[in-house]
Structure 1
Amino acid sequence: MSTASVRSQTPAPSSPTSLDDSQVVGETWRARVRRWRPLLLALAVFVVISVATALMRPSVSKVPYALDNPGSNGAQALGALLREEGVSPRTVRSVSEVLQATAGSSGASDSSQRVTVALIHAGQLSASERSALARSGADVTVIGSTYEDLTGLTELVPSGVSSSTGKRLPPQCSDPDAQAAQSLDGIAGSLALSDDVAAGSPAPDGVVACFPVSAEGDYAYVVAPLEGGGTLRVISDASVVTNDRLAQEGNAALGVRALGHHETLLWMDASHKAALTVWNPGSLPAWLSVTGFQALLALGVLALVRGRRFGRLVDEDLPVLVRATETTRGRARLYHLVGDRHRAARALRAGTARRLGHRLGVPASAEPGTLVEAVASATGHSQRQVHQLLYGPVPDSNRSLADLASQLDHLESEVSHR
């Protein structure tokens, strides 16, 4: 056989760019889906079960003092007690809703036709809105008055004077609701009858002041008449009605009785007047947080599985980081160990006075009265209240010292944001 004939019978090599049907250049999408199908099905079942479980749960809130908040700062327990007493509480978000619900109730003798308004963060309302509530004929119970403006509702003046934990406050008044509560404990904030009423002077007509916090005329609970014929009740410390403290002393009795005089209770938090939107966490579906957590968990597992292909992580020494607050915390621990509340309070007040003076242009050499007058003018608080915070007596307990620090910080923030 000739060389030419051999060459003619030898098949020509295939072109490197020509592929037949039996060649595979990579894993197809169909093959990938088939390989991951068990994991995807398991993940889908897991998500469906999680969503179904979350949907079966009752809707809850994390908003402080909300009736559907089961947390320590919520008021769900109080709402349950009120329902057991035949009171129907519901949440409203504007003064117009309150006025619409109270229309025609003014002067009604039947309790089922009267309305009680529970008002939280009263200072977030305008003076005209508070005046409208006072003229509505409804009973208004203010929950938490510290640093709140009550102008339009009453001449009562919020005070920063508090009582320490463990110091029981007797009612010392004739109000039946206060008598039923018998005692309160650990009250933050209080009420003075007015700037013009001196300590020990009789209360104005119709005003009943209970649970005296100090000998200077500061009270934890006050009852007063309203312009429209209703009754104003003020609980100075909002934490009294929270789930965390409701079972302490007479908190439950005072909360239920102060809010349960009528069958209808309108619960209004003035700091949440705007309607809920998709950007507001309160309007998000209850299952969204659970689903998000499950999705993050699935992504973590996927990252762990895929990350093994790239080998272990390489450790690298990082410089030591020291928090800037460590010195402050260490000094606070020393004050706490030796019980030196006098020095701690003096340091807190001196630092606050120095920063307030710098902010308001009051020189350090000025008299205390000059600084008090400037701060009172800038914040709208009475000079008596400002003087009590900056130059008052030494706190008699760690709780009172903590309350003083919080009140000084709040006062400073008011001046900084004016």
Structure 2
Amino acid sequence: MTGPATTAVGPTLAQRWRGLRWVLLAIAVVVGVAALSTYLTAPRPGGRLEAGSTSPEGARALVTLLRDRGVDVIEAATIDDVERAARPDTLLVVAQTWHLYGDELLGRLAEVPGDRLLVEPASDTREQLAPGVRRGESTQWGGLTPDCDLREATRAGTVQFQGADTFTAAGDTPVIRCYDGVLVRYTEDGRTVTVVGSSFFMMNGGLLDEGNAALAMNLAGTHPRVIWYAPQRSEEGGDDGGASVLDLIPIQVSWVVWQLVVAVVLLALWKGRRIGPLVAERLPVVVRASETVEGRGRLYRSRRARDRAAESLRAATLHRMVPRLGLGPTAPPPAVAQAVAARCNLSAEAVSHTLYGPAPATDTDLVNLARELDDMERLVAQS
């Protein structure tokens, strides 16, 4: 006799979710910890001469040294910040960037009170903020000695500029020239203006060469209050220079996230694979349950496996009786024997011998054990 049968292959959706939810939770925790630690420890590239930038062209090292020395360094992001913080006793450090341009912006900077330190200024910046000097020749020398009487330069000694512009006096104003004109200083209308034709000695990448750190500290640390202005966005033409959320995420975090996404996808494919869909196939033979029992019994008899047969009968009886007794699958044998004895009006010793006793010695004993188990199960079911 033949008939169709449906074979279920693969776990159900609920089983799959129960197996994966803890894995997904662990992955989420790992992603969160990795992203947080990477963000906190990642360098801040920033822009050229930006006070908080840790890139080779940034100025965070110099700003940190100044603050450790007791100098109040104010990081000004806009011209409005400069105007609010400026006082007659402050030093305004203006670092030339691509966003420092425009007559209006430079004109407002020229009205700011206090001394000035111009770092590698462009022509328009120099004309507006340091009109007492004009540009000279450029130099490619790696190291220069001061050759002047300026205290800040003589204390620093030889400095590595790695290419710089030089400056000379534009009129009759007396100008102090150091390092062959790379560093000039003059005083006009009670204001001291210092112009440097190179920014390398102030950057993170060049601060450790020769006397670079000493010169940078001597020039920027002469006042107790310093305004650091290295604009990183344009303030003219309506460009607000705002950064999106993605721009604020360090590149290291992006790489970690993408790697974890790939790992999660591969894990999902591995855990979620199936041998195949549910199929209905026609079995060549349908075997009755009674025939299966008889076949197994013949195998036990041919091998004289009375112990295995008795163990199988007792285990099946206990599996069906224990729930009716209100006991769990891990109930100890004495508790089961007491519960069965109470239901069947039998002695606990007899019940324990039947359910947990030794293996039958003969086939007749095995048949008697099967009858006793059947009677005991019937009494429990009827009680």
TM-score normalised according to structure 2 size: 0.59
SS of 1:77 mapped into structure 2: helix
1:292 matches 2:254: yes
Greater relative contact order (Cα < 8 A, sep 6+): 2
1:224 matches 2:224: no
Deviations 1:43-91 (A, max 9, x none): 1120122244246548834323222222322212111221122112121
Which residue of 63, 68, 72 maps to 2:52?
A: 68
TM-score normalised according to structure 1 size: 0.55
Q: State whether residues 130 and 150 of structure 1, in contact with CA within 8 Å, keep that contact through their aligned partners in structure 2.
A: no
Q: In structure 2, what is the equivalent of residue 191 of structure 1? A: 166
2: distance between equivalents of 1:273 and 1:115?
A: 24
Q: In structure 1, what is the equivalent of residue 178 of structure 2? A: 210
1: distance between equivalents of 2:231 and 2:25?
A: 47
Q: State whether residues 119 and 195 of structure 2, in contact with CA within 8 Å, keep that contact through their aligned partners in structure 1.
A: yes
Q: In structure 2, what is the equivalent of residue 126 of structure 1? A: 102
* Distance 1:186-1:133 versus aligned 2 partners, 3 A rule: closer
Letter in structure 2 aligned against 1:208: I
Q: In structure 2, what is the equivalent of residue 261 of structure 1? A: 222
1: distance between equivalents of 2:80 and 2:145?
A: 38
* Distance 1:144-1:261 versus aligned 2 partners, 3 A rule: same
Q: In structure 2, what is the equivalent of residue 50 of structure 1? A: 34
1:277 matches 2:242: yes
2: distance between equivalents of 1:207 and 1:39?
A: 71
SS of 1:151 mapped into structure 2: helix
Deviation, 1:223, is 1.0
Which residue of 148, 162, 165 maps to 2:139?
A: 162
Which residue of 155, 167, 178 maps to 1:180?
A: 155
- If you compute each CA radius of gyration, which structure gives the higher value, 1 or 2? 2
Letter in structure 2 aligned against 1:277: G
Deviations 1:92-113 (A, max 9, x none): 12222212222xx33xxxxxxx
SS of 2:37 mapped into structure 1: helix
* Distance 1:248-1:280 versus aligned 2 partners, 3 A rule: farther
Q: In structure 1, what is the equivalent of residue 212 of structure 2? A: 251
Q: In structure 2, what is the equivalent of residue 97 of structure 1? A: 81
Deviation, 1:36, is 2.3
Deviation, 1:174, is 1.8
Letter in structure 2 aligned against 1:181: A
2: distance between equivalents of 1:276 and 1:29?
A: 49
SS of 2:182 mapped into structure 1: strand
Letter in structure 2 aligned against 1:297: Q
Gaps of 5+ in 1: 1-9, 107-113, 198-202, 213-218, 310-418
Deviation, 1:170, is 1.7
Letter in structure 1 aligned against 2:148: C
* Distance 1:185-1:53 versus aligned 2 partners, 3 A rule: closer
2: distance between equivalents of 1:267 and 1:135?
A: 16
* Distance 1:186-1:266 versus aligned 2 partners, 3 A rule: closer
Q: In structure 2, what is the equivalent of residue 83 of structure 1? A: 67
Q: In structure 2, what is the equivalent of residue 237 of structure 1? A: 198
Gaps of 5+ in 2: 274-383
Deviations 1:102-161 (A, max 9, x none): 2xx33xxxxxxx111111116723234334333322111112236764221123334561
2: distance between equivalents of 1:27 and 1:240?
A: 67
Equivalent pairs counted in the alignment come to: 265
Give the 5 Å matches for 1:32-43.
Answer: 32-43=16-27
Deviation, 1:246, is 0.8
SS of 1:272 mapped into structure 2: coil
2: distance between equivalents of 1:268 and 1:181?
A: 24
Deviations 1:183-214 (A, max 9, x none): 223432213326xx6xxxxx7323211110xx
1:140 matches 2:116: yes
Once superposed, what is the RMSD of the aligned Cα atoms? 3.5
Letter in structure 2 aligned against 1:143: V
